[in-house]
Structure 1
Amino acid sequence: MAEKWEFAGEVGAPDSKNRVVLTPAFSNGEHVDGFNVFLNDSGEIKLEPVVKISAKEAWLYKNPKALKMVQEGIKDTIEGRVGPLSRKRLKSK
């Protein structure tokens, strides 16, 4: 299946140090720490935005069971399936 690419803007030519400024094409306001760079046989370049997370938080993404539980908890919250938790209810478990 072919990827759908959308024109995001035009950037100028590389400067004397061979750098390209992406700001005109990348202005959605989201924080990005860097990019993964992909090249294809046609010479096209694809940049994939990357956001770094701390080692302290990375464990969650390395533990599929824990990640699933967190995602289910978020979904339950969004869909209104959570309520206040009392000490009495906690002790009965």
Structure 2
Amino acid sequence: MSEAEFFDILRQGLWVSVVISAPILAVALLVGLVVGLFQALTSIQEMTLTFVPKVAAMLAVFWVSMSFMTRNLTSFWSDAVLPMIVGG
């Protein structure tokens, strides 16, 4: 395996990790903005008010998108990583 092939696999792996984590991070950002706006409008400064809704939303999105994440990760493994291991 050459250096270029190694870095290509590494680049693909990083991209897969970005694609897999994007739904969870996007929901955390949106929920954080909504809760922050709610706190600013009502002057409620409770620390758990920001944490609990974010975690609940992230768990819900993780549960919904688990098949998408698994499909992307297994296709990366079977299409890119495994042929490199077998081939050389």
Place the TM-score, normalised by the shorter chain, in its bin.
Answer: under 0.3
Specify which structure has the bigger relative contact order, considering alpha-carbon pairs within 8 angstroms and separated by 6 or more residues: 2
Bigger fraction of residues in strand: 1
Bigger fraction of residues in helix: 2
Bigger-Rg structure (1/2)? 1
TM-score, with normalisation over the residues of structure 1? 0.22
TM-score, with normalisation over the residues of structure 2? 0.23
